[in-house]
Amino acid sequence: MNAIEAHGTYKVFGKRPAAGVARLKAGATREELREDGLTAAVIDASFEVREGEIFVVMGLSGSGKSTLIRMVNGLWAPTAGELTVCGEDIVKMNDKQLRTARREKVSMVFQHFALLPHRTVGENAAYGLQLKGVNRAERERSATEALAMVGLEGWEGSLPEQLSGGMRQRVGLARALAAGTDIMLMDEAFSALDPLIKREMQDQLVELQSKLGKTILFITHDLNEAMRLGDRIAMMRDGRIVQNGTAEEILNEPANEFVAQFVQDVDRTRVLTARSVMTIPAAGDGRLLGQPVAGTVAAVDADTRLSEVLGACADCEGDLAVVDSRRRLVGVLSRATLLQALGQLAADAAHDASADPASDTTPMEVTAR
């Protein structure tokens, strides 16, 4: 079962929003609705978030991404369409059911921390459990464990004002973890942090996800962050999802010119993986697909980014074995194959730049960098 599903979901603000949806379905534009006092924030959105994945919704300001996550959290009701969380339709829930869903099924990490200044770090981390009615000893134990997960062991008695911005965001993450929900919603959670701290938080989220396997819906306007974190990415523009896929799919097969321009400056070696450039060994060459690879054989995980493969390939005299999570052979990667792939990436980037010489001055591209 998917953790979250949306089918033909709309959110229109203003008087008679249902009529606005009807007009959109009949072909009216977002601008035409705006002239009549209606704001079409989300238009015909369809996607699914699989259990245990990080699903990133990426878009610039005004694209509709924050409205989308607020509907998933039950803060705003969809104007039309279907939206289910853990198999239950948000659209059909009453206020009590929505409060229960927010308390027991989803937890939220906000952009600006949203900590209670008069409560200690430990009390903030345990706040969601307090709302659930969990007894004090249990919630303090869970909060302490969650704080240790995010590197804040020993800070339970401190106040938020004594913490740096990055540490306060860790408290927000710990609060979501302590709540024990299967789904975490993260709305521009790292955008208020400076670049170095932001990178550290991204690393920590990836590490935690590898251990806990939470379902995470992550909202961002940062393309590099989306590419780095997302198992899959939905790109939004003007209220619509214009492409949905893995980072590699979006880079290699952009759905339209908007997406192509948006991703043209991305460092592909930090997105593409060994799996994308490996070769399949020929039958009879002694390397059997699906068989375990000995620990003494030079190997790299299939999902390793090419930027990290470079060093391993340089230190390897022969081919690298490309393996899955159980160290079974899925392919091989030679130095020549890797260099050929890197050369092709460089040629593609040069072609993109020469095809659109003015693209680096557009607001879209400036933001994407």
Q: Pick from 118, 107, 185: which is nearest to 146 by CA?
A: 107
The per-residue pLDDT string of the chain (369 residues; one tens digit each, 9 = 90 and over) reads 799 999 999 999 999 999 999 999 999 999 999 999 999 999 999 999 999 999 999 998 889 999 999 999 888 999 999 999 988 888 888 888 888 888 888 888 887 778 899 999 999 999 988 888 899 999 999 999 999 999 899 999 999 999 988 899 899 999 999 988 889 999 988 887 888 888 888 888 988 888 888 999 999 998 889 988 999 999 999 999 999 999 889 988 899 999 988 888 787 777 888 888 888 876 666 667 778 888 778 888 988 888 888 877 777 777 888 998 888 999 988 888 888 877 777 666 666 656 554 444 333 333 333
Helix, strand and coil percent figures for the chain, each rounded to 5: 45, 20, 35
Helix axis angle, 195-212 relative to 165-178, nearest 10°? 20
Distance CA 99, CA 102 (A): 5
Domain ranges of the chain: 51-71+102-268, 269-369
Pick the CATH number of 269-369 from 3.90.1150.10, 3.30.460.10, 1.10.645.10, 3.90.1280.20: 3.90.1280.20
Distance CA 3, CA 338 (A): 37
Q: Pick from 216, 259, 213: which is nearest to 236 by CA?
A: 259
Distance CA 318, CA 32 (A): 62
* Residues 51-71+102-268, CATH architecture: 3-Layer(aba) Sandwich (3.40)
- Asked if 96 contacts 103 with a C-beta cutoff of 8 angstroms, the reply is no
Q: What is the pTM of this model?
A: 0.80
* CA dihedral (168, 170, 175, 181) positive or negative: positive
